[in-house]
Structure 1
């Protein structure tokens, strides 16, 4: 799975958790908080994505990600290990 696939998965999960964003053009530079995701939404989006990727990593390792693109980079790096 490449970074583009992971990005599409994250976007799909964002639409599922925050349905009012459906149709919004989500970009890698977007921040989940700026899109209206509260802490529970963000945890759910990340959890769903990690489950779909069959990843079990401590969430603390994802805290450095400032936007969706950086989140994808971290998930991709963990998936590639």
Structure 2
């Protein structure tokens, strides 16, 4: 697929977009999370998100991005950067 710089983000833009959506969704679902702690090397669990929070964050993020990722690609302990990469592959 050819990407046009005018209307479709490239790989770096995709990464930033996915991370931005994950961040926004996380802060919507768990508003007590300190935004400064939302970094690619942390897990959602590190931020205090329980299993229901994590499921909601992933589901809402996928919906906003318009992607479908099979559940087996997610496993406990994925850091935010890896989680974003899994979703980015589906864009």
Q: Which runs of 5+ in 1 are unaligned?
A: none
**Corresponding residue of 1:48:** 60
1:5: Cα distance to partner? 0.8
**Corresponding residue of 2:46:** 34
Q: Which one has a larger percent helix, Structure 1 or Structure 2?
A: 1
Q: C-alpha separation between the residues in 2 aligned to 1:32 and 1:53?
A: 19
Over 3 Å counting, the alpha-carbon distance change for 1:78 and 1:64 in structure 2 is farther
Which segment drifts farther, 49-58 or 11-20? 49-58
**Corresponding residue of 2:32:** 20
TM-score by length of 1: 0.86
8 Å Cα contact 1:6/1:76 also seen in 2: yes
Which segment drifts farther, 16-25 or 45-54? 16-25
**1:8 matches 2:20:** yes
1:25: Cα distance to partner? 3.7
Aligned residues: 79
TM-score by length of 2: 0.78
Quick check: which has more Rg, 1 or 2? Answer: 2
1:65: Cα distance to partner? 6.4
